[in-house]
Structure 1
Amino acid sequence: MISVKAPGKLYVAGEYAVVEKGCPAIIVAIDQYITANISESENNVGVIHSKQYENDKIEWIYDNNQIKTLNDNSSFNYVISAMKTFEKYVEELDINHKLYNINIDSNLNSQDGKKYGLGSSAAVTVATIKALNELYDLNLCKLQIFKLAAIAHLRIQGNGSLGDVAASSFGGWIAYSSFDKNWLTNQTNLKKTLEQRWPHLMIETLTPPSNLELLIGWTGTPASTANLLKSVEESSNADRYNQFLSKSKSCINKMISGFKNKDLTAIKRQIKENRNIIVELASFTGIDIETNKLKRLCEIAEEYNGSGKSSGAGGGDCGIAIVEKQSPIKDIETKWTENGIVPLHLNIYSEQEA
């Protein structure tokens, strides 16, 4: 049996703007995972199963070289999309299809099943692609894995930046900007698509300053990224939206420079600026991005000379704070707890841990 894992993610800065091509964000992979176990089937059908859905499974076969599921379960949509995408690529390489079983396990949620907003759909898509890459022994690089997973993920979600897919594919801290999705829609050959440069795509590894500490707080309220993104897309103030994109791009580029120059003060300054930019977006779109708990999370971070902001789509889920390693972190987390914010003691994922 082959076993691989793909990490979850947290957005550090650049949310909402990053859904537009060429607009950068900073994202970090964290050490909570989706694990995919894969083995060749000894029967005439393959089985998809998950420890999170003990009573559910999907059986599948090949029918005219196409994956055909014998029963339906939306819980496995991203897995099936990843399989179909990968098998199309295999067909273009003129490799014989394999029939296999996939078992999925996750620790991206709390023990009682509550979602932290760590990007489970992206991680399960990447984990499936990585497992198939090993099963077929194709030795795909991280960028090729990202591209296949991005195509598969986009077919299900239909919107978003795919930054969570990039973080799950590459690990560590990354600077990311999204590709031109209209360009991708017009590509028909997967092999050629993987070999091409994708317009506007940027995935760049970052190394944080040695004195930077990332703190994560969970507000206890799950949020729907897809719904929040749709709400922003439907807002009609084009001028203010374009101003938001311009401000966000400038802010994140300065933050990327802060990483490259190992300048923690500059990073904290731009975290605070990005928070203000996103709060302004929330104001003119009428969307509740920075909830009361997320606002309090940021205020407490600032009391200790740190900078905090919502992470991802906001509206609940997690917030982050950037502080110096020498800061009284226990005091910050105690105040968070007193305000109904759960500190999550997560570490940065690096490929060496895989």
Structure 2
Amino acid sequence: MISCRASGKLFIAGEYAVVEPAHLAVLTAVDRYATATVTAADPGEDVILYSDLDGGITLSCERHGDELSPTSDAVVPAAFSYVFAAVSVVHRLLLERAIPLSAFRLSVTADLGDADGRKFGLGSSAAVTVATVAALGQYFALGLDPMDRYRLAMLATIAVNPRASGGDVAVSTWGGWLAYRSPDRAQVAASLARDGVEATLRSPWPGLSVRPLPTPTELTVQVGWTGNPASTPALVAGLDGDRTTFLAHSNDCVERLVAAIEADNSQAMRVEIDSARALLVDLDAMSGLGIMTPRLHALCDAGAAVGAAAKPSGAGGGDCGIALIERTRPAAIAELTGRWISAGIRPLPLRTHPVEGGHR
């Protein structure tokens, strides 16, 4: 039996810009997880997938030549799309490496949402994908390093959502705080279709950069959940028009934020978080996407009232917001928490999940 887990994520800054290749974002991994467990299947079985998502679902799969597909022409449930895509990509790699595919059972569990199944917006799709790739990589002794795992998980991700930036995939792979630039997913997908999985793993990915950052020592990230799950793909799909100015200003802001994090300059970090929020507010006004909901406005206002820097985390439209505030101000943190609760915002007790493995 092999079990691997992958962390959830929070966007600190750069969401919406990072959707474009080579544009910059900062993310951090958090201590909520998806876990994938692989065991040998029973005689007569082929590939059995189980997930506790959506109340628990099971999918039987079988091989047809080079393809893996659900048995009896079953449809892959939406909640299983990323897991199935990850299994399919690893299956192709096994075939290309001439490694026999022994039958197995894969079980995926996650604690990235509420007890009633609503997601917190912590990157559950990325986490289950990364955990699945890692567990299968160990089970079949593929010798995958972190970049291999990221790339395989990213190939699975863009098979489901071609516009996904992959920032959540990266931070679920490496942990810690990351500065991340997204690859050109269209070129990556074309390479996969033309050359296969192995060659795409080894080829350049234009635009991609993954760089570790130190965890700030003076500031803590407080997280509030609005209670309203949001669909990142739907919000990103609504982007249109010329965003050249937004992209340039976002990159400048996040570059300054990265420099502030590396210098552990808490005041400069708060300034750039406020700037990142202002950029999202302007983008929302221009696009009409609904990034800033009333509760996200309330979350940010509460942060400002206690001297914290606050903004939505991720695509907005619900989900989570963050506030960066000094660790040495427990009274202000308690006041922030009280203001959030009064506004119908649920504080989430999250901590940074540390770096795992090497970066390149």
The TM-score, its normalising length taken from structure 1, stands at 0.95
Report what 1:154 is aligned to.
Answer: 158
Mapped to 2, the partners of 1:68 and 1:190 lie a distance apart of: 18
Task: Decide which of 233, 256, 264 is 1:262's aligned counterpart.
Answer: 264
Q: Is the 8 Å Cα contact of residues 44 and 61 (structure 1) preserved in structure 2?
A: no
Which runs of no fewer than 5 residues in structure 2 stay unpaired? Answer: none
- What amino acid is the match of 1:294? L
Q: CA offsets, 1:122-153, max 9 Å, x none?
A: 11111110010110112211111000000101
Q: CA offsets, 1:197-230, max 9 Å, x none?
A: 3111011111133111000000111111111101
Report what 1:4 is aligned to.
Answer: 4
Q: Which of 183-192 and 306-315 deviates more?
A: 183-192
Matched position secondary structure for 2:42: coil
Aligned residues: 348
Q: Which of 342-351 and 66-75 deviates more?
A: 66-75
Q: Is the 8 Å Cα contact of residues 162 and 185 (structure 2) preserved in structure 1?
A: no
Mapped to 1, the partners of 2:208 and 2:134 lie a distance apart of: 21
Mapped to 2, the partners of 1:200 and 1:158 lie a distance apart of: 16
Q: Is the 8 Å Cα contact of residues 293 and 339 (structure 1) preserved in structure 2?
A: yes
- What amino acid is the match of 1:308? A
Q: CA offsets, 1:19-58, max 9 Å, x none?
A: 0011100111111111111112122222111234556311
Q: Is the 8 Å Cα contact of residues 54 and 117 (structure 2) preserved in structure 1?
A: no
Report what 1:141 is aligned to.
Answer: 145
1:97 aligns with 2:101: yes
Report what 2:342 is aligned to.
Answer: 338
Q: CA deviation at 1:64?
A: 1.8
Taking structure 1 as reference, are residues 55 and 23 closer, same or farther at Cα in structure 2, changes over 3 Å only? Answer: closer
Report what 1:287 is aligned to.
Answer: 289
Q: CA offsets, 1:153-186, max 9 Å, x none?
A: 1101121211111111111110101001222122
Query: Any runs of at least 4 consecutive aligned residues in structure 1 with deviations exceeding 4 A, and if so which?
Result: none
Q: CA offsets, 1:96-121, max 9 Å, x none?
A: 12211011111101112121011111
Mapped to 2, the partners of 1:283 and 1:303 lie a distance apart of: 23
Report what 2:354 is aligned to.
Answer: 350
Mapped to 1, the partners of 2:115 and 2:321 lie a distance apart of: 20
**Matched-pair identity in %:** 33
Mapped to 1, the partners of 2:140 and 2:313 lie a distance apart of: 36
Mapped to 2, the partners of 1:89 and 1:73 lie a distance apart of: 21
Report what 2:63 is aligned to.
Answer: 62
Q: Is the 8 Å Cα contact of residues 174 and 356 (structure 2) preserved in structure 1?
A: no
Q: CA deviation at 1:243?
A: 0.2
Report what 2:75 is aligned to.
Answer: 72
Task: Decide which of 180, 199, 202 is 1:176's aligned counterpart.
Answer: 180
Mapped to 2, the partners of 1:318 and 1:249 lie a distance apart of: 22
Mapped to 2, the partners of 1:284 and 1:72 lie a distance apart of: 39
Q: Aligned ranges for residues 152-301 of structure 1 at < 5 Å?
A: 152-187=156-191, 188-232=195-239, 235-236=240-241, 238=242, 241-301=243-303
Mapped to 2, the partners of 1:338 and 1:121 lie a distance apart of: 31
Matched position secondary structure for 2:246: helix
Taking structure 1 as reference, are residues 52 and 200 closer, same or farther at Cα in structure 2, changes over 3 Å only? Answer: closer
Report what 2:91 is aligned to.
Answer: 87
Taking structure 1 as reference, are residues 152 and 352 closer, same or farther at Cα in structure 2, changes over 3 Å only? Answer: closer
- What amino acid is the match of 2:273? I
Mapped to 2, the partners of 1:53 and 1:351 lie a distance apart of: 30
Q: CA offsets, 1:227-284, max 9 Å, x none?
A: 110111xx33x1xx10000000000000000111111111110000011011111111
The TM-score, its normalising length taken from structure 2, stands at 0.93
Report what 1:304 is aligned to.
Answer: 306
Mapped to 1, the partners of 2:164 and 2:75 lie a distance apart of: 25
Mapped to 1, the partners of 2:184 and 2:309 lie a distance apart of: 32
Provide the aligned C-alpha RMSD in A. Answer: 1.5
Mapped to 2, the partners of 1:258 and 1:348 lie a distance apart of: 18
- What amino acid is the match of 2:335? D
Report what 1:36 is aligned to.
Answer: 36
Which runs of no fewer than 5 residues in structure 1 stay unpaired? Answer: none
Mapped to 1, the partners of 2:102 and 2:63 lie a distance apart of: 9
- What amino acid is the match of 1:225? T
- What amino acid is the match of 1:64? G
Report what 1:49 is aligned to.
Answer: 50
Q: CA deviation at 1:9?
A: 0.8
